[in-house]
């Protein structure tokens, strides 16, 4: 007997030791040109009985794990009552779980009223991961993200007002060399407007079979090199003002691992990036970078 997993399972790095409860398969959008995570997994909402059986399994076998992550790519799009039922069963059968988190996109967040999001928080949903990728409308449209900067800001602010903590992912290099700094500045502005508790910066790694990889092979997309990505990261942090949040760029895809609390560590982080650009700080070898 084991938990029911269908297709590939993805979770944020910070959920590495969490109970992974798959309530949906695939991604409800699944049209971003840089991503193939769910290309082989059609979007479905899993049967309620299957999810409840998995929670019962976790109650017996996952007693040392204090966090739980609701998979897959956009579980928040489930009907409100289904999420509430799931959260209530988690609280009932896994009372030692201290945090329940979820992936969400702008569309699924904005489909929920603020009152509904408050209700989810009251039933135990503590944290949502939102893939912003870029705050630049031209870049968002080019990669077919499915939302513009205004919608992203509205979604992030709605979660924050509801009391659900927000972790935002941004993608260095997504705009290519030509719009690298515009992408960085606009993304910093959107992050400032959202004011999330957490920001995670990843670096673009082109995946064979994706439209963006095809564009690169045809010569119509030119990603920044390592130093260009560092300049972009510095520009993004320069234009990001958080009231009290963490800005991490320690994902395996990044050339320079960074863990900073903003605003306290902002100047020291920018100085570290400047030193790395000058060659005074070693970067990760290309072979060591991972998706």
Q: First vs last Cα of the chain: how many Å apart?
A: 31
- For residue range 212-233, list pLDDT tens digits in order: 999 999 999 999 999 999 999 9
Tokens of 240: 């990001």
Superfamily per CATH, domain 13-277: Aldolase class I (3.20.20.70)
Mean residue pLDDT of the chain comes to: 95
Q: Please report the pLDDT score of residue 229 as a whole number.
A: 95
Residues 249, 118, 243, 127, Cα dihedral to 10°: -20
The per-residue pLDDT for 252 is 79
Residue 28 pLDDT:
87
> For the segment 12-30, what is each residue's pLDDT rounded down to a tens digit?
989 999 999 999 999 989 8
pLDDT value, residue 183: 98
Instruction: Tell me the domain boundaries of the chain.
Output: 13-277
DSSP sequence for 101-157 = EEEE-HHHHHTS-HHHHHHHHHTTEEEEEEEEE-S-HHHHHHTT-S--HHHHHHHHH
> pLDDT tens across 27-69, in order?
989 899 999 988 888 899 999 999 999 999 999 999 999 999 9
C-alpha 110/C-alpha 94 separation (Å) is 29
pLDDT interval class at 291 (50, 70, 90): low
Percent of the chain with pLDDT over 70: 99
């Amino acid at each position: 007997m084991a938990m029911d997993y269908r297709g590939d399972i993805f979770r944020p790095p910070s959920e590495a030791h969490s109970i992974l409860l798959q309530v949906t398969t695939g991604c409800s959008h699944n049209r971003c040109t840089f991503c193939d995570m769910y290309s082989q997994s059609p979007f479905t909402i899993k049967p309620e009985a299957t999810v409840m059986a998995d929670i019962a399994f976790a109650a017996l076998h996952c007693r040392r794990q204090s966090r739980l992550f609701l998979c897959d790519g956009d579980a928040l799009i489930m009907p409100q009552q289904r999420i509430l039922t799931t959260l209530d069963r988690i609280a009932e059968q896994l009372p030692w779980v201290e945090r329940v988190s979820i992936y969400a996109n702008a569309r699924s967040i904005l489909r929920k009223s603020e009152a509904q999001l408050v209700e989810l928080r009251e039933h135990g949903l503590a944290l949502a991961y939102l893939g912003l990728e870029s705050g630049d409308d031209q870049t968002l449209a080019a990669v077919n993200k499915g939302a513009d900067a205004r919608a992203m800001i509205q979604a992030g602010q709605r979660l924050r007002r509801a009391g659900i903590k927000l972790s935002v992912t941004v993608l260095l290099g997504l705009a290519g060399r030509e719009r690298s700094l515009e992408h960085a500045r606009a993304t910093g502005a959107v992050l400032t407007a959202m004011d999330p508790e957490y920001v995670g910066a990843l670096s673009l790694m082109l995946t064979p079979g994706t439209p963006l990889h095809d564009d690169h092979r045809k010569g119509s997309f030119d990603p920044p090199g390592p130093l260009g990505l560092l300049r972009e990261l510095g520009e993004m942090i320069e234009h990001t003002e958080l009231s009290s949040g963490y800005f991490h760029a320690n994902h395996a895809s990044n050339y320079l691992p960074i863990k900073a609390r903003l605003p306290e560590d902002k100047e020291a982080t920018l100085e570290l990036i400047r030193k790395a650009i000058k060659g005074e700080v070693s970067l990760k070898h290309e072979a060591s970078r991972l998706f």
